[in-house]
Chains A and B, each alone.
Chain A
Amino acid sequence: MAEDKKGSVLIVGGGIAGIQSSLDLANSGFKVYLVEKGPSIGGVMSQLDKTFPTNDCAMCILAPKLVGTGRHPNIELITNAEIEEVMGEAGNFTVAVKKKPRYVDEDKCTGCGACTENCPVKKMIYPLEEEPLPILKEKDIQKIRAIIKEHREEMGKLMPVLQHINKEYNYLPPDLLRHISKELDIPLVAIYQIATFYNAFHLEPRGKHIVTVCVGTACHVKGAPGLVEALQQELNINVGETTEDMSFTLETARCFGCCGLAPVITVNENVYGKLKREEIPKIIKHYKD
């Protein structure tokens, strides 16, 4: 380690990039101030399983660096802080940093977490505000109760419940999901994880007519991209969108399995096979009237 201090630098952001830069600069003799918005450094990498492209374990790379940063005599950590103002010019900056309060003596804290568990006013430490549940119509309440009752005994019941709601409402109304979360005692975030993972679930209401273009391989080589283009033009919306008057939603699907008819589109339940681009306007017109 170079002993003579060459000057000081301030690094904003305590992710892996900030940590590595801090270590490199500190090792070459700079005094480093590492400013991080959150209460701890580590950033996104600390949440990853593996890193590309070497498939190394992310935490195994990161952990020694975290410790190194914390111990380094040339690095001063300023966490829970944000930059207010930067003044001066290259070579001579003055930076105003706003440190947020935390009411804990950092030098003595070991991070055991006991205080968060015992804090009588939990909200003061990590605000997790619980919004009141949205008020639903009586018939919606009846409906979700019936749905939950039907699937309550099933193993892995969340999926069937969501599928049932999706079928009833044509999408997953977010208000209902909050009720489901409470009723099934599954965190809302877990429900959203599932709801946004699958293609069949939608969080926004969909149109009266659902136009779906099959973009399976067979349809692709037989001209499905042209059909998508024509439909976008005809309906004036992109794939995944709904027309303003809520009459059409345009979607694509991975193979209906009627490759013999390729290229295929469906409007609601009706199948149109061996379709040519110029036939699109006529089909849409049929549903408009």
Chain B
Amino acid sequence: MHKLKIEDLEKIRERARRATLLREGDSKAKIIVHMGTCGISAGARKIMNALLNIVEETEVKDVIVTTSGCAGLCSREPMVTVELKGEAPVKYVDLTEEKIHKIFSKHVLGGKIVTEYALAIGSEREP
């Protein structure tokens, strides 16, 4: 990787922004597993593994599974955020491997929010 110039920073910013917002590319959904120390202690790694297994088994190609840091609400972990193309993200809490199966098939593939496990829709903002 060559050294960045300021113009490059701007380019990366645009490209990465599009990618994270799912505006571009073939992906139709992104699943973020919140993996801070607290999340991992509460079992986030199991959820992550379960998700990867599901993706492999169902041979779905257009779903991104990624990690992120703690979402703040430690007592409700493990948590994941599911984002479908063109829709606001949904946060799910108190997950188990069973629940993640259901969320995957109903929400990620079927497009319907699993209301009984969902905590909230949307993302937080800077003041």
In the complex, A touching B (Cβ < 8 A)? yes
B74 CB, nearest partner CB in chain A, Å: 3
Is B77 an interface residue when CB atoms closer than 8 A count as contact? yes
Q: Which of B66-101 contact A (CB under 8 A)?
A: 74-77
CB pair B37–A273 under 8 Å, yes or no, is: no
Nearest CB in chain A to that of B74: its residue: A260
Q: Contacts of B77 on A, CB cut-off 8 Å?
A: 260
Is B64 an interface residue when CB atoms closer than 8 A count as contact? no
Please, could you name 10 A-B residue pairs with CB atoms under 8 Å apart, sorted by A?
A256-B41, A257-B37, A258-B38, A258-B41, A259-B38, A260-B42, A260-B75, A260-B76, A261-B38, A273-B41
Closest 8 CB pairs of A and B: A260-B74, A271-B41, A260-B75, A258-B38, A258-B41, A260-B38, A257-B37, A261-B41
**Bound Cα distance A271, B39 (Å):** 11
For the side of the interface on A, what is the size category? under 10
Q: Which of B36-82 contact A (CB under 8 A)?
A: 37-38, 40-42, 74-77
CB pair B37–A256 under 8 Å, yes or no, is: yes
Of B37, B38, B76, B77, most buried by chain A (CB within 10 Å of CB) is: B38
**Bound Cα distance A273, B77 (Å):** 12
Contact indicator per residue, chain A 245-289, by CB within 8 Å of chain B (1) or not (0)? 000000000001111110010000001010000000000000000
**Bound Cα distance A257, B77 (Å):** 14
**Bound Cα distance A259, B39 (Å):** 11
Q: Which residues of A contact B (CB under 8 A)?
A: 256-261, 264, 271, 273
**Bound Cα distance A258, B76 (Å):** 12
For the side of the interface on B, what is the size category? under 10
Q: Which residues of B contact A (CB under 8 A)?
A: 37-38, 40-42, 74-77
**Bound Cα distance A271, B43 (Å):** 9
Partner of A257, one of B38, B42, B75: B38
Nearest CB in chain A to that of B37: its residue: A257
**Bound Cα distance A234, B6 (Å):** 62
CB pair A264–B41 under 8 Å, yes or no, is: yes
**Bound Cα distance A264, B74 (Å):** 14
B71 CB, nearest partner CB in chain A, Å: 11
Q: Contacts of B41 on A, CB cut-off 8 Å?
A: 256, 258, 261, 264, 271, 273
**Bound Cα distance A259, B41 (Å):** 10
CB pair A259–B37 under 8 Å, yes or no, is: no
**Bound Cα distance A256, B76 (Å):** 17
Q: Contacts of A261 on B, CB cut-off 8 Å?
A: 38, 41-42, 74
Q: Contacts of B74 on A, CB cut-off 8 Å?
A: 258-261
Of A256, A258, A271, most buried by chain B (CB within 10 Å of CB) is: A258
**Bound Cα distance A271, B77 (Å):** 14
CB pair A258–B75 under 8 Å, yes or no, is: no
**Bound Cα distance A271, B38 (Å):** 10
**Bound Cα distance A93, B28 (Å):** 99
Q: Contacts of B76 on A, CB cut-off 8 Å?
A: 260
B105 CB, nearest partner CB in chain A, Å: 28
Q: Contacts of A256 on B, CB cut-off 8 Å?
A: 37, 41
**Bound Cα distance A258, B74 (Å):** 8
Q: Contacts of B75 on A, CB cut-off 8 Å?
A: 260
**Bound Cα distance A264, B37 (Å):** 13
Nearest CB in chain B to that of A257: its residue: B37
Q: Contacts of B42 on A, CB cut-off 8 Å?
A: 258, 260-261, 273
Q: Contacts of A259 on B, CB cut-off 8 Å?
A: 38, 74
Nearest CB in chain B to that of A272: its residue: B41
Q: Contacts of B40 on A, CB cut-off 8 Å?
A: 271
